[in-house]
Amino acid sequence: MDFRFTDEHRMWRDTLDRFMENEVGREYTREKEAAREFPEEAYRKVAEQGWLGLLVPEELGGLELDPVMYAIFVEAISKFSLDFTACFITSMFTLQNIATNGTKEQKEKYVPGFLAGDLRFSVSISEPGAGSDAASVRTKAVREGDEWVINGNKIWCSGAHHPNTTIVLLARTGEDRYGGMTTILLPNDTKGIDMKKMPTMVRKSLGTTEYFLTDVRVPVTNTLGKEGEGWKIIGSHLQLERMSLAASYVGNARTALDDTIKYTKERTQFGKPLSSFQVLKHRMAQNEAELSAARLLVYDAATRLARGENALKEVSMAKVLAAETAFNIAFNGMQALGGYAQLAEYDMERYFREAKHGMVGGGTQEIQRTIIAKEMGL
């Protein structure tokens, strides 16, 4: 089996590396995160390149690249911050729900504006009483004539507060645990939505929200897919989302480890560089091995998705290992940098915060292991 990138893959990766260094940069990313500001300038640059449409079919104006090319994109743009990456991929993998399951009218309404960088998307699954147990959602949509009337409470809906954002809402429309859920397109400026951005220690640029829905009315034509297909649509969505997240952890962990290596080579104690001390060398060597393994799992999962296969187990394995690897690397980086790791200008504390979030966001480590075990027949 050949694990090497093709020439096309390498050229794509090199293009993205140059973009991140020359058009974005470490300081810009750091400043936006610290100010809790969306990286609007960088987002527009990505839109101008046409990269928001990486997975969008050509007939809808996209590039229609495969999940491997998408994984390369996600890994590369995660160089400086996972929060920065979330500002792009949250809309990208959510938009795919519309590109895949939407009606002709829905695609015409939403896809062009998204590709231009004017429209954004968020997916809303979790509730105060429905986190890992997503099928227990209680937010209810009741049909009245040609409208859905929606009432409930959603939480951890990242990016939902930004202007011109449409939420793919998972709501209960029937009593069946799985067959009684429907996905509904909900513009965030719809009357009856009370939304607030939450003061989290991560997701500062994209932001995550809690909101309440009180007699919110949207047309039945906003139904995404068929009534009762919500669980099926979200299940497919989660494979792409979790592969994306795993790729982002690998990309950011690479920078965190490189930063640690650089610091330990330059920092001298007891008359020699920190990199010469066995305890630090062995930690970094172990991290290098773990990172290589996590990266291989990411591209194995992406390759399976590109072939149209069910990659539920592989996606979960990639996410659980990549998240733990990113956290281990950031933890060891915090130890190696000592006091300097506490300073924002060294970036390590951001890597550490964001890596910890990776072990919960998008499906916890425990849930990923449960999925893997189930796929093993356990």
* SS3 per residue for the chain: CCCCCCHHHHHHHHHHHHHHHHHHCHHHHHHHHHCCCCCHHHHHHHHHHCHHHCCCCHHHCCCCCCHHHHHHHHHHHCCCCHHHHHHHHHHHHHHHHHHHHCCHHHHHHHHHHHHCCCCEEEEECCECCECCCHHHCCCEEEEECCEEEEEEEEEEEECCCCCCEEEEEEEECCCCCCCCEEEEEEECCCCCEEEEECCCCCCCCCCEEEEEEEEEEEEHHHEECCCCCHHHHHHHHHHHHHHHHHHHHHHHHHHHHHHHHHHHHHCEECCEEHHHCHHHHHHHHHHHHHHHHHHHHHHHHHHHHHCCCCCHHHHHHHHHHHHHHHHHHHHHHHHHHHHHHHCHHHCHHHHHHHHHHHCCCCCCHHHHHHHHHHHCCC
Q: Is the pLDDT of residue 237 over 90?
A: no
Residue 232: burial class (beta carbons within 10 Å; 0-12, 13-18, 19+): middle
* Domains assigned to the chain: 7-119 (1.10.540.10), 121-228 (2.40.110.10), 231-375 (1.20.140.10)
Query: Does the structure show a pLDDT above 70 at 190?
Result: yes
Query: Which pLDDT does position 285 carry in this prediction?
Result: 98
CA distance 227 to 230: 7
Buried b (16+ CB within 10 A) or exposed e, 158-173: bbbbbeebbbbbbbbb
**Cα separation, 21 vs 201, whole angstroms:** 26
Q: What is the pLDDT of residues 258-306, one digit of tens each?
A: 999 999 999 999 999 999 999 999 999 999 999 999 999 999 999 999 9
Specify whether the backbone of 223 is left (phi greater than 0), alpha (psi in -120 to 50) or beta. beta
Q: pLDDT tens-digit profile of 162-173? A: 999 999 999 999
pLDDT at residue 196, as a whole number: 97
pLDDT band at 233 (very low <50, low <70, confident <90, very high): very high
Between β-strands 140-144 and 181-187, what pairing exists: parallel, antiparallel or unpaired? unpaired
d(CA 277, CA 269): 10
Among 60-74, 197-211, 233-247, the least confident range: 233-247
d(CA 112, CA 53): 10
Q: Average pLDDT of the chain?
A: 97
What tokens were used for 178? 């799985």
User: Average of pLDDT values for 219-245?
Assistant: 94
Instruction: Give pTM, 2 decimals.
Output: 0.96
| Residue 185 pLDDT > 90 | yes
Query: How far apart are alpha carbons 13 and 23 in whole angstroms?
Result: 15
pLDDT tens for residues 88-117? 999 999 999 999 999 999 999 999 999 999
Both tokens of residue 157?
A: 């809906």
How far apart, in Å, do the first and last CA atoms of the chain sit? 29
pLDDT, residue 240, reads 92
Rg (alpha carbons) of the chain, rounded to whole number? 21
> Is residue 34 over pLDDT 70?
yes
| Backbone dihedral angles phi then psi of residue 147, each to the nearest 5 degrees | -130, 150
Is the pLDDT assigned to residue 43 strictly greater than 90? yes
Q: Given a cut of 80, is residue 1 above it in pLDDT?
A: no
